[in-house]
């Protein structure tokens, strides 16, 4: 795993504000059953821990969610909102194959001329965006907006037993800026193992298999999960390995962590990670029951919710953790400060 520690470069990076957005449409398990899902509502809860998820309206796309989350973060940023030097958008559900969703978010936020780009890291998207933003701040940017947004409902086959109950839509954002060394973001690490590239994927619609009437008719534009039990084990072990490597790099253990904010993939995964890490479930931020798996945006949304609910306190060590298709993985250790708590409190709730 490649680990970045800002203090080693004589600087620090802090999160100034966060933002999040969830679509208004609430989809229950009973709603999915009515759409043709092959599981009943109780089975969905038993297998995933999910009771509800949010889906976009017909006229919404990924950029709309990202703009809303970004606007909320910038609204509480003060003078830094006009000092933005860069925008990073993590997504696996771009509005179009071209141009980038970041360009659409740039226009929607009314930003001046500055570098913007998309990156793709599946469910580890927010941590990859956070890493890119932190490195930009460490090399001179005054403020960088990192956004993770996904619309997975448009790629969902409700008749597929393996995935029908899992996915929701949403976006989360964080504005990063310089800080004194050893404050804010203490360390962030990323890794990938490309041998898992076909574990969870969308077969058609890319350059390998272009869209056609046949691919649409056979639902090859929908998410496919090849081996659920193996993916479960890979997600647990991948996140634990990333966490341990990151904590080792700063001479800490799970016992030193106040809060764990993991990717919300499945409630069973969250419970197993907590158990293997020796953490009580009360120290794990969980919102999967009401929002489902929002892919790369889950960690960002969960962190924003925890801040707004005042669950996080100044001085708390927070471990952000994610694993995604590919396989991708990431971990970040963040120390909460009073300014972040004050800034997040100024914006409207999602």
**Among all residues, which ones are annotated catalytic?**
123, 263, 293
Whole-angstrom Cα Rg for the chain: 19
Alpha-carbon distance of 243 to 47, in angstroms, equals: 25
Q: Which helix (H) or strand (E) segment is 25 a member of?
A: strand 25-28
Kindly tell me the burial class for residue 143, based on how many C-beta atoms sit within 10 Å of its own C-beta (0-12, 13-18, 19 or more): buried
Alpha-carbon distance of 131 to 148, in angstroms, equals: 12
Closest CA to 158 of 317, 58, 33: 33
Residue 317 tokens, joined: 């060590």
In this structure, the strands spanning 144-151 and 169-179 are antiparallel
Residue 25 tokens, joined: 């449409």
Alpha-carbon distance of 322 to 172, in angstroms, equals: 14
């Amino acid at each position: 795993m490649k680990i970045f520690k800002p203090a080693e470069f004589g600087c620090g990076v802090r999160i100034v504000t966060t933002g999040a957005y969830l679509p208004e449409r609430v989809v229950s398990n009973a709603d999915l059953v009515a759409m043709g899902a092959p599981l009943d509502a109780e089975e969905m809860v038993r297998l995933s821990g999910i009771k509800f998820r949010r889906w976009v309206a017909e006229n919404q796309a990924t950029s709309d969610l990202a703009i809303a989350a970004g606007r909320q973060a910038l609204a509480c940023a003060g003078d830094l909102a006009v000092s933005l030097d860069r925008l990073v958008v993590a997504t696996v559900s771009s509005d179009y194959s071209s141009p980038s969703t970041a360009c659409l978010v740039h226009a929607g936020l009314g930003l001046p001329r500055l570098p913007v780009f998309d990156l793709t890291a599946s469910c580890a998207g927010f941590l990859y965006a956070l890493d890119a933003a932190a490195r930009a701040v460490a090399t001179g940017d005054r403020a960088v907006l990192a956004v993770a947004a996904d619309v997975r409902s448009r790629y969902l086959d409700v008749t597929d037993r393996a995935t029908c109950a899992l996915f929701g839509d949403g976006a989360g954002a964080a504005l990063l800026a310089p800080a004194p060394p050893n404050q804010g973001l203490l360390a962030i690490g990323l890794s990938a193992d490309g041998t898992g590239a076909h574990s969870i994927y969308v077969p058609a619609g890319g350059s390998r298999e272009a869209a056609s009437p046949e691919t649409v008719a056979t639902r090859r534009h929908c998410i496919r999960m090849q081996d659920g039990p193996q993916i479960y084990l890979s997600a647990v072990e991948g996140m634990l390995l990333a966490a341990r490597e990151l904590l080792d790099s700063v001479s800490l253990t799970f016992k030193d962590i106040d809060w764990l904010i993991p990717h919300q993939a499945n409630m069973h995964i969250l419970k197993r990670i907590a158990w293997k890490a020796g953490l009580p479930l009360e120290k794990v931020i969980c919102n999967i029951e009401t929002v489902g798996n929002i892919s790369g945006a889950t960690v960002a949304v969960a962190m924003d919710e925890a801040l707004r609910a005042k669950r996080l306190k100044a001085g708390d060590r927070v471990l952000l953790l994610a694993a995604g298709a590919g396989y991708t993985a990431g971990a970040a250790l963040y120390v909460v400060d009073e300014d972040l708590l004050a800034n997040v409190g100024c914006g409207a709730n999602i």
